[in-house]
């Protein structure tokens, strides 16, 4: 069941209906009991805890969980189409909220997906966050359980928060140099390397958005929404894990099938 979901996500069959139709049409001989879409959806949903635990297991098996440098960012995740007059449906009235993504110049209704990744691009932490607060307000949730160097974009520049960092001597937030702020006490070499690591998290965000369609999840309740997010993150983690195992470029997802 989980293998079907991972392969389906990789092949861009994002909805449960698409997944069922694809495997029922082409691989029914492997899954003779796969006869009912409702049963397929129910069984897939019941495995959500296993799918939530698998990425953590893979990060430890690959050694990536111990990477002392992990970049972070947030990704807008709308839950419906946002029009000029407001959102188009009334889903998630108690959980979702309005948000703005400055990088994409996007107003949306939904959530933010927090991302923390290793230098090779493997996701190690991905909390679902409220859309309205500024990214800096989510800093504690994003660095939870981590010690080391954290490259981040300008959304995480905050003088007050930076002043609090001495209380966490095991954690360093490294952001781009901004005018009118004191330059960070780091070498130019480290700052250039940090810029490369920040670019990598942008690549991961693009893959989640384009290949795995994480911004086009359309369900009616938070439980199913969270399950879809877990499934997409798992599929991405498996792809990176396989690339590392095969000694390939970690984020070359297309090449897993083409090569």
- Cα 15 to Cα 18, 119, 156, 224, 229, distances in angstroms: 5, 31, 34, 11, 12
**Does the pLDDT of residue 38 top 70, yes or no?**
yes
pLDDT digits (tens, 9 = 90+) for 207-246: 999 999 999 998 888 888 999 999 999 999 999 999 999 9
- pLDDT band of 52, cuts 50, 70, 90: very high
* Angle of the 2-10 helix axis to the 48-61 helix axis, nearest 10: 70
CA 168, 170, 172, 173 torsion-angle sign: negative
CB atoms within 10 A of CB 128: 17
Residue indicated by tokens 């082409």: 26
Average pLDDT over the chain reads 87
The DSSP code for 65 is G
CA 123, 127, 128, 129 torsion-angle sign: negative
**What mean pLDDT do residues 32-46 have?**
87
Report phi then psi at 206, rounded to 5: -65, -40
CA distance 237 to 58: 8
- The answer regarding whether domain 66-218 maps to CATH 3.30.420 reads yes
pTM of the predicted model, to two decimals? Answer: 0.90
Could you tell me which of 235, 231, 173, 175 has the C-alpha nearest to residue 204? 235
Question: Any idea which of 42-46, 158-162, 255-259 has the lowest mean pLDDT?
Answer: 158-162
Which pLDDT score, from 0 to 100, does residue 84 have? 63
pLDDT digits (tens, 9 = 90+) for 62-109: 999 999 999 999 999 998 766 666 655 656 766 888 898 888 888 888
Which pLDDT score, from 0 to 100, does residue 142 have? 94
Helix (H, G, I), strand (E, B) or coil at 174: strand
Contacts of 20 (CB under 8 A, 6+ apart): 34, 37, 40, 41
Contact between 165 and 173 under an 8 Å Cβ cutoff? The reply is: yes
């Amino acid at each position: 069941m989980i293998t079907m979901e991972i392969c389906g996500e990789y092949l861009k069959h994002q909805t449960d209906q698409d997944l069922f139709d694809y495997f029922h049409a082409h691989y029914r001989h492997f899954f003779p009991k796969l006869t009912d879409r409702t049963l397929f959806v129910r069984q897939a949903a019941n495995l959500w805890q296993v799918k939530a635990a698998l990425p953590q297991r893979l990060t430890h098996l690959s050694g990536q969980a111990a990477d002392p440098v992990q970049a972070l960012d947030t990704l807008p995740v709308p839950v419906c189409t946002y029009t000029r007059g407001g959102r188009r449906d009334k889903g998630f009235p108690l959980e979702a909220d309005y948000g703005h993504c400055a990088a994409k110049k996007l107003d949306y209704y939904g959530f933010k997906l927090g991302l923390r990744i290793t230098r090779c691009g493997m996701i190690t932490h991905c909390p679902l966050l409220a859309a309205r607060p500024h990214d800096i307000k989510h800093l504690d949730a994003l660095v939870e359980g981590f010690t080391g160097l954290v490259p981040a974009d300008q959304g995480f520049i905050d003088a007050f928060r930076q002043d609090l960092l001495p209380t966490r001597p095991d954690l360093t937030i490294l952001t781009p140099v901004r005018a009118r702020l004191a330059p960070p006490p780091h070498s130019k070499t480290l700052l250039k390397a940090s810029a490369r690591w920040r670019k990598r998290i942008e690549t991961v965000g693009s893959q989640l958005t384009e290949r795995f369609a994480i911004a086009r999840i359309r369900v009616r309740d938070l439980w199913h929404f969270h399950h879809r997010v877990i499934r997409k993150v798992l599929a991405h983690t498996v792809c990176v894990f396989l690339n590392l195992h095969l000694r390939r470029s970690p984020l070359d997802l297309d090449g897993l099938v083409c090569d």
